[in-house]
A and B are shown apart, each in its own frame.
Chain A
Amino acid sequence: MSDLRKFLSIIATLLLVFAIACGGGQETVYDDEEEDEGGEEVATATSADTAQPGAPATADAGNVSGVVKLAGTPAAMPNVAMGADPACHQQHPTPAKSNEVVVSADGGLANVFVYVRPQDVKGSYPAPKTEALLDQVGCLYKPHVHAVHVGQTLKIRNSDPTLHNVHALAKANPEFNIGQPVQGMESQKKFDKPEILIKIKCDVHGWMNSYLAVMPHPFHSVSNDGGAFNISNLPAGTYTLEAWHEKFGTQSQQITVGPNETAQVSFTFNAS
């Protein structure tokens, strides 16, 4: 009797093992062509491995600096017609120029957002504790182009004695549209996802717009009035550097930064 039981249990175990083995073999077969996730898996596994939080290595860091130029003569920027709102108009004894294309005497192009492509940067960088500021002065945004870190607080202030609304046309992050009727009023916003770039506009004053990048790393810069930009403390390596301008689009370049070096890069946009 005990023999029989033993025999049966052996048979059962064997068959189950067999069954499990069969099941196991088939498990790797994905039934849906559409959803063949094999490749994806590998990709996520590696990115998960590399995305170890930790302080960025700065020992062998380098810098990138350079100039953004505009080739050709751009059309002169028109004056902004602020007549619709006297509160804006009165703040500008001489009419304000549109800041869409700002070029210095030697062709330096301002308001170009230069950044290292996020997927090229290894490691994660914590958000700075400081607050970034987007101000509305004289019915214009200050700054016109800038960036915040993911999770960093952006303070939005209305310094004008008129109603502004701040309408962020975000895609990856939640869109928002806040009204600021009071002079000196401040609102705070945080962005959870990287996004390059979010257009921010005022629906009350159609000429007002600003561009905000939400970056996962600190390696970005906005060209100044002379067109110069500077990115520091970039870990040595090869990167794709991109330059974005609201009118002239995006350009990119491969750069290699050695330890304690400063790589010189220049971008040239075409005015025509």
Chain B
Amino acid sequence: MKPQEPIPHNYSISTLNKIFALSSLGLLMGVGAMVAYDYISGWKRFQVGFMRLEEQRIRQELRAAEESQSRVELTRLDEEMQQREEEIARNREGYRSAQNELRSWEGRHYAADQNFRFAKATLDALRYEAEVAALKKRRNADRKREEYEAQSARVEELKLELEEVTRRRDAAKARVDGFLMRVRELEDRKKESTATIERLRKQLETVAPTPAFLILNAPLLDFINPTLRVDQVVVEDMFIDINYLHVPRVDRCMTCHRAIERPGFESKREAARLQAELQNKLETFQIPPERVAETEQRIDQLARIQTQRGIPNPYRTHPFLDTFVGSASAHPLAEFGCTSCHRGLDRSTNFARAGHTPMSRRQEARWKKSWHWKAQKYLETPMYPRQYFQAACVKCHSNQITVDSGPAITRGMTMVELYGCHACHKIDNWRFTALRKPGPDLNGIAEKTTPQWVSRWLADPHSFRSTTRMPAFFHQRNMNGPAVSQREREQNTRFQNAEIQAIVSYLFNNSTRRPWNGGGSGDPVRGEQLVGSVGCLGCHIAQDTVEDEQGAVREARRDDFPLERHYGFNLVGTGTKTDAGWLFNWLKDPRRYYHSAPMPDLRLTDQEAADITAYLMTLQKPDFMQRPLPPTEPRAVAELAKNYLINTMTDREANERLASMPLREQLDYLGQRTIEKYGCYSCHDIKGFEGLKPIGTELTIEGSKTLHLFDFGLVHDFEAHDGKDEHILHTVPSWIYTKVRAPRVWDDHREKPYQDKLKMPNFRLSPSEAQAITSVILGLTKERVDQSKNARLDPRSRAVEEGRKLVSQHNCRGCHVVEGYGRAIETTLSDPGLAPPDLTPQGSRVQSPWLFHFLKDPTVMNLRPWLSVRMPTFHFTDLEANTLVQSFAADGNVLQFDTTRYATPHPQNVAVGQVVFEMLRCAQCHPSGPAAATSEVADAASLAPNLSFARVRLQHDWIPDWIRRPNEIVPGTRMPTNFPRDPESGDFTSPLGMAIDTPAFSQYKARLSRYYPSDEEMRKALDDVVTISGYLRDYIWTLGPSEMRIAPATGEPRPQPPGRLQPTIELPAVGSTGSEQGSERPAR
């Protein structure tokens, strides 16, 4: 065959071969690179990292468990077992005979049982035959019947025999068991103590790398059944908005955040917090006995975490697992997922694309370096940065007063209301539908102060009172700041002065001028004492300097005081600001000046009001009034007024109009326009501005606005009013924070005409205040959650919530602890014993009818005569008082009306209760009867409530509970614990049974012996704390009237608005029979 001729072609095969070889090689490498990239990208290494961490942890725990248990416990157990076994050996004879006996009885039992069963079966057959024979009238019917009866008797016999054998078998078994029980118990305990170790060993196997693990997760093979895989939670009813489409959330965060719902990987700080919390629960017996051992183990684990190397993220356990993420919490992972609170892109498993947002520039830099983090400009819902996590709470809880697990957000929401953010910026779906304006009414300003003061105040309110909530509108950074040119600064100053004068002119020309007289001769020293004692300082501050830790005196900031003390204005400088006559009348009755004045009525006498007036008038700020007042510049006024006029008319018309207006008219016109421009009317009632819309940007969905809607201006850093330099990150949270902290910073380096410059005033917020407010604003989003996920919908919670609104609006926490926190006044009192009562348990403590009357008129009874702080009269409407009463009752889970008050306790219980009452010397602190007065006792702070009021005031079940555990109900109470809990079992113990035999108690013993047949019984009864506390209540029940008698008040008449209730409690005189109900009175 001749060789085939090569086919001619236009390409070289060998070159092509090379190209194909190279490109296929390239493709192969490409595929390899893709696989490799996919393999090592992101989440897998976190999962492997976590396995390594877990392995370390388990090894450590294993070591700890082995050390602690095998050494101590096991050796001891082994010893005990050995002893026991030796004991068994010693009693071997007995044991063996017991065993033999058991065996023989077991056999006999079997036989007897069998006999019985067979006989019974035969009986059934015989009965049938007898029945059929009788029915068919057979001849052998009688015989069959006899047979049946004989068998019946036999069955009965066998049954008795079986019972006897069973009894003896059981007895034998019990004997053998007795021998074995102790051994078994020891074995069980041994097993138990090695269980932890066994469990840890098993766990270790699952995380230690094995060949199977390598193969299952090998690249290209890992499609079969990998152990490293993306984890996700699908939350069906929490939708995410993707391009106008509502789709269920698919959260994949736990792919990297491996231990997010697993306890044991807490940060050190969280571990310390949890440890303290659990320890406290354990000490106060809040842990049920069956969970004590488990809790103790957990405490050990938490203690270990604090000594070990800290756990880095993303491997940490979510903090506050009992509130978030945990399956038993209010926000379980399966129902809420992660992004419904934290936001971020739910389906992403990539660090940057998931929307992690840095909290600071430092963190941003580190993320960029370690994780190639990039800002996600087009992500609609980037995550909240760490310091704003609580913003998430607002999404669902903005209509709630107290967010239980979010103290910071509760504070932020209160701040938004107190500082008046809501007044200028509309916020829908807020917790209050109608809020009072945050500033005072200005329609009577001329009655209260002078134009000179107001001019200086407007120019710089913080120099008069550093803690004021009034923000500064004038002479801010965009007007007079260092970035503004000299020429422009001069012009801005002229314009601003003209605006201030115009506002003052408008306000004073439109003010009422009622005369306020009185309060001439007061004693300032007594006045100062009164301010410190009647309760003014629950809502007011009276200082503008504080001492810092080093003892240096510096200007006070709002942050230095609890929020509750900013409800009223700072009293500093009152003498410089206000007219004495006006002040006197304001103190007497604030509502006469302003119908909805927030200040309550403290029922001051004329003399008291005069004394306080005299004191407040000594609080002067003379320097402030020395500040120069710029003269009126008609040209500046005219120029500004023209700016407004030309909006609606031509330049020529405007000039003509101005020429026709005298200066005063020009000022009033400019004043009106300036008040409109700055929105003063949003916070203050001002004549002529009724019903106007608030001035600021609506904030209802501010937290959902995307980054491109925010103007970051030309600044990257700024210096705030307090001299702190701060960075601005290119994120929405950072923008809002900067805006509230330095509102006009975006004008820096910008050219703008005067009237276009930013107008938001400066509240001089500290970083923490700005952060709290930013959190709230960030939480105002358009994300809406399903009704089923919204908190607190049952009627009881709603009733509680309605009361909380009033508690917040009337600032009850200024003086009282409510639901665990508050009582801002306490720091101003010399003795904490003189502070107003803790209302946390108020609902379960008092009866609703009493509370209603007390709220309507606190003078209804002098319950705590030793307190100089007065419960003010708030002039609650019936509806408000009812709302509060219902709220407390719902919170305490008690019935509002019941008949327990009329129950007549058994006389014997009362008599025993009286003896115990005397033994415990209750009367040493608790007076009863109308004669109780503070004068008898030198130390007023050591008194306790009058028990004559108990029956109309206290809940029937409350009294014994309170007697048993006062310190648990109100921590720090002065009521001593008479029945301490046993530190081991947590049961109440009584000292009385032991004490009754001491000579000091012989007379009590004699009296008690009438009711108990023997000393033994008496001691037993006295040691029964539950019963004894009930008897005490029964006795206390007899100390006062059962009816609250509403009668006209006696004594000094007070001016009262017409038509109000005037309830009071009438107490029977000492020694009258009304209170005694046949029982003996304590000898006192």
| A residues in contact (CB < 8 Å) with B | 8-9, 11-13, 15-16, 18-20, 22-24, 26-35, 37-38, 40-41, 44-45, 48, 81-85, 161-163, 165-167, 169, 174-185, 187, 203-207
Contacts and interface: CB of A to CB of B under 8 A. Distances in A.
B49 A24 contact: yes
B1049 interface: no
Contacts of A31: 312-314, 363, 366
Contacts of B219: 11-12, 15
B1000 A41 contact: no
A261 B209 CA distance: 60
Contact of B1000 (A15, A19, A182): A182
Nearest to A206: B939
Interface stretch (B135-143, B695-703, B974-982): B974-982
Top 9 closest pairs, chain A to chain B, by CB = A179-B976, A23-B49, A165-B976, A12-B218, A206-B939, A163-B921, A37-B310, A203-B974, A23-B45
Contact of B267 (A37, A83, A85): A37
Given A12-B214, A22-B45, A205-B942, A183 B920 contact: no
Interface residues of B, number: 67
A12 B46 contact: no
B268 A22 contact: no
B967 A204 contact: no
Interface stretch (B36-44, B707-715, B874-882): B36-44
Given A20-B45, A40-B268, A206-B831, 12 more contacts: A15-B40, A23-B46, A29-B366, A31-B313, A31-B363, A40-B310, A161-B1000, A165-B976, A174-B284, A181-B991, A185-B991, A207-B939
Contacts, number: 169
A26 B312 CA distance: 9
Contacts of B363: 31, 33
Interface in B353-406: 359-360, 362-363, 366, 370, 386
A44 B269 CA distance: 13
Given A8-B220, A37-B268, A20 B52 contact: yes
A162 B924 contact: yes
Contact of A18 (B40, B221, B306, B938): B40
Interface string B727-770: 00000000000000000000000000000000000000000000
A16 B216 CA distance: 12
Contacts of B986: none
A179 B214 contact: no
Contacts of B938: 81-84, 206
B20 interface: no
B973 A177 contact: yes
A23 B218 contact: no
Contacts of A8: 218, 220-221
B370 A26 contact: yes
B1001 interface: yes
Contacts of B925: 163, 203-204
A16 B220 CA distance: 13
Contact of A11 (B218, B941, B998): B218
A79 B980 CA distance: 34
Contact of B310 (A24, A30, A178): A30
19 contacts: A9-B215, A18-B40, A24-B49, A27-B312, A31-B313, A31-B314, A37-B267, A37-B269, A167-B974, A174-B283, A175-B971, A177-B974, A178-B978, A181-B920, A181-B978, A183-B1000, A204-B924, A204-B925, A206-B938
A205 to B, nearest CB: 7
Interface in B165-218: 209, 214-215, 217-218
B995 interface: yes
B807 interface: no
A41 to B, nearest CB: 6
B937 interface: yes
Contact of A182 (B214, B313, B1001): B1001
Contacts of A203: 833, 925, 941-942, 974, 976
Contacts of A28: 312
B978 A44 contact: no
Contact of A12 (B49, B217, B974): B217
B991 A48 contact: no
A167 B218 contact: no
Contacts of A185: 991, 995
A34 B268 CA distance: 12
Contacts of B973: 177
Contacts of B939: 84, 205-207
Contacts of A175: 967, 971-972
A175 B968 CA distance: 10
Nearest to A165: B976
A20 B49 contact: yes
A84 B1001 CA distance: 23
Contacts of B81: none
A187 B980 contact: yes
Interface in B991-1030: 991, 995, 998, 1000-1001
Contacts of B370: 26, 29
Contacts of B936: 84
Nearest to A166: B976
Contacts of B980: 178, 187
B309 interface: yes
A33 B283 contact: no
Given A9-B214, A32-B313, A176 B998 contact: no
Contacts of B974: 165, 167, 177, 203
Contacts of B310: 30, 35, 37-38, 40-41
Contacts of A161: 1000
Interface string B246-288: 0000000000000000000001110000000000100110000
A204 B942 contact: yes
Contact of B214 (A13, A34, A83, A167): A13
Nearest to A13: B214
Contacts of A11: 218-219
B571 interface: no
B642 to A, nearest CB: 53
B12 to A, nearest CB: 34
A206 B919 CA distance: 21
Given A9-B215, A176-B967, A187-B980, A16 B48 contact: yes
A26 B1001 CA distance: 73
Interface in B931-979: 936-939, 941-942, 966-967, 971-978
A236 to B, nearest CB: 29
Contacts of B215: 9, 12
B1018 to A, nearest CB: 16
Contacts of A19: 39-40, 44-45, 48
Contact of B921 (A32, A162, A184): A162
B40 A26 contact: no
B650 interface: no
A3 to B, nearest CB: 16
B15 interface: no
A88 to B, nearest CB: 10
Residue of B221, B359, B921 with most chain A CB atoms under a 10 A cut-off: B921
A84 B934 CA distance: 11
B40 A177 contact: no
A48 B307 CA distance: 8
B95 to A, nearest CB: 42
Given A8-B220, A179-B977, A35 B46 contact: no
A203 to B, nearest CB: 4
A32 B270 CA distance: 13
B4 to A, nearest CB: 37
A221 B359 CA distance: 50
Contact of B48 (A20, A176, A183, A207): A20
A207 to B, nearest CB: 7
B761 to A, nearest CB: 31
A27 B978 CA distance: 54
A206 B941 contact: yes
Contact of A178 (B46, B267, B977): B977
Nearest to B938: A84
